[in-house]
Amino acid sequence: MLLVGREGERGLNHGLGVTEVMLSLETVIKKSWKQLTISERRLATFVLQHLEELPFETAASIAARVGVSPMTVGRFIRKIGYRDLRGIKTALRTGSAESGLLSRQITRKLFDNAPLESKVKALSGVHRLPSCAEWPGIVALLSSARHVHVASFQLGRFIGLGFASALQTIRPHCHFADGSDGGYIDALLDSDSKSCIVLIDFRRYSSHFRLLAEEAAARKIPVVIITDVYCHWAREITDHVLLLETDFDASWERLGIAQSLLELLLVDVAKQCKGRAQRYEAIHQLREKFVGFEKVNESDAEEA
């Protein structure tokens, strides 16, 4: 049994703030991921995505939201090193502005089930991801890998295609892997440990999604997985995982949220790529030579 959680409980006596407790709890859960059952991983994902709400939850309410039994909740809490849910709740309340948390909870209740509120919540979650522990490693990988292959599936196919094209303007050797060659040959056969494969999909997942992830991992090719919080196997494959929480029933409503995440990634990757301005100018010159652009004369520009 892991004991790090109890270290967090003892840390309360030494003035450990809520931020440190959250980070400690997050670290413990991620390190214990491979030891958790499927139901416990579902609980772990819920906890990681709802740390601020935990002081107001009960074992029964968590069980109902995740779809497991209260006994499973208790077993999971003990497995990560806490005696019971009260230990976690006490830790998270210590050092926090409880009134602020309560105010946010009331606001969520007031706007419960409102589509706009759901999108705002999802976007807020996206903008917190750049501060997660996985972000710097993913940015470094996308900016320095010898080759980057991007694969996305179903309705989200165009997101991966656009992401690969945008990366290509920032750095060389970025490709979209559509699987039309019957075996993802470029992505798998012509890549190595210095390359990278980015996989993007949301439930219901394409069978290619997991199969390609497992094959890449077996070949020691670094993998980045961008998916939703319901994908409980992603962390088995790689540490480079970004999870989106969306409450939308329609899959196309998730695409805008995913696009926002990819835009944030592009911004940070661009910062790490030297010579991107020169590359962009060279691309512009080639496009002007082969395709051309609409010309705007001086008088039209001034009138506009």
pLDDT tens-digit profile of 70-95?
Answer: 999 999 988 888 888 888 877 776 64
Structural domain of residue 10, as residue ranges? 4-98
pLDDT in tens, 263-278: 999 999 999 998 889 9
The answer to whether residue 283 is domain-embedded is: yes
What order of strands is seen across the sheet that includes strand 148-152?
174-176, 148-152, 196-200, 223-228, 241-244
Query: Whole-model pTM above 0.85?
Result: no
Q: Are residues 85 and 134 in the same domain?
A: no
- Together in a domain, 94 and 133: no
Low-confidence ranges of the chain (pLDDT < 70): 1-23, 93-115, 247-252, 296-304
Listed in order, strand segments (DSSP E) in the chain are 148-152, 174-176, 196-200, 223-228, 241-244
> Do 195 and 246 belong to one domain?
yes
Final residue in a domain of this structure, among 48, 78, 98: 98
Do 186 and 65 share a domain, yes or no? no
* Distance from C-alpha of 92 to C-alpha of 291, rounded to nearest angstrom: 58
> To which residue do tokens 């969306």 refer?
246
Question: Would residue 220 count as lying in a domain?
Answer: yes
The answer to whether residues 62 and 9 belong to one domain is yes
User: What backbone phi and psi angles, to 5 degrees, belong to 183?
Assistant: -165, 15
User: 233 with 142, same domain?
Assistant: yes
Domain for residue 111, yes or no? no
Strands 196-200 and 241-244, bridge-based pairing: unpaired
What's the sign of the alpha-carbon dihedral 285, 143, 272, 236?
positive
Domain end marker among 98, 120, 150:
98
Tokens 């004369």 appear where? 297
Q: What is the CATH number of the domain that holds 160?
A: 3.40.50.10490
Q: How many domains does one find in the chain?
A: 2
Same domain, 282 and 134: yes
What distance in Å separates the CA atoms of residue 212 and residue 191, rounded to the nearest whole number?
13
Q: Are 236 and 34 contacting, i.e. CB atoms less than 8 angstroms apart?
A: yes
Cα-Cα-Cα-Cα dihedral of 204, 258, 38, 138, to 10°? Answer: 130
Domain identity same for 138 and 65: no
Percent of residues, the chain, with pLDDT higher than 90: 50
Question: Are 142 and 86 in the same domain?
Answer: no
